[in-house]
Chains A and B, each alone.
Chain A
């Protein structure tokens, strides 16, 4: 069964460091997303991406965040200068169609900022 894959599964970093989280969406999917979940909190939308550009972003997704699809398969989330409050599980997700297709999530990348 096709799946969304994410790396790394866990990253520990020092405050102020740059972090890149990587995702390989399912190959025939067109819509890509990053969500995050702080421990014990709800899953929160960060950004959606379609046709090589950002479709929508939340207020969480400030200038410290960026996304890229550099080579047609990888979809990356970069946090330029991490803060303690960026510690969370980051989920990549993808789907085929805009609002009716099932959203498939990767297993997540756990980011711990010290």
Chain B
């Protein structure tokens, strides 16, 4: 089983739509969780951290379910500029352990 699994997509949605991405992770000892955004041929950039209580940042909402080892990202009112690949990222343990990246879910928002 892959350490971090995501549906690769692509998700093609119209502007204004709501879209949700899911991610599962295999290591139950994982401590920290993130969503990164990666534009084509660019570096990954942090979109938001994911907290146990769930958190929201504008149109973006992240949820974590530790029991199911499942992370989600919801994007409301999609904009053309949201088109990118969304990477689910997990930090396995505390301390200086590397982030583990999912392969990403590709989103295309269409006018």
* A and B held together in a complex: yes
Interface residues, chain A, CB within 8 Å of chain B? 31, 33, 35, 41-45, 48, 50, 55-56, 58, 89, 91, 98-100, 102-103, 105-108
A99 touches B95 (CB 8 A): yes
Beta-carbon contacts of B33-72 to A below 8 Å, as 1s and 0s? 0000010011111100000000000000000000000000
Asked whether A102 and B46 contact (CB < 8 A) given A42-B104, A45-B100, the answer is yes
B11 at the interface (CB under 8 A from A): no
With beta carbons under 8 angstroms apart, the residue of A58, A98, A107 that contacts B94 is A98
Query: How big is chain B's contact interface, by range?
Result: 20 to 34
B80 at the interface (CB under 8 A from A): no
B26 at the interface (CB under 8 A from A): no
Asked whether A45 and B99 contact (CB < 8 A) given A102-B46, A105-B44, the answer is yes
B76 at the interface (CB under 8 A from A): no
| Pairs across A and B, CB under 8 Å, 11 listed | A35-B101, A42-B87, A42-B101, A43-B87, A44-B101, A48-B96, A48-B98, A98-B94, A99-B91, A102-B46, A105-B44
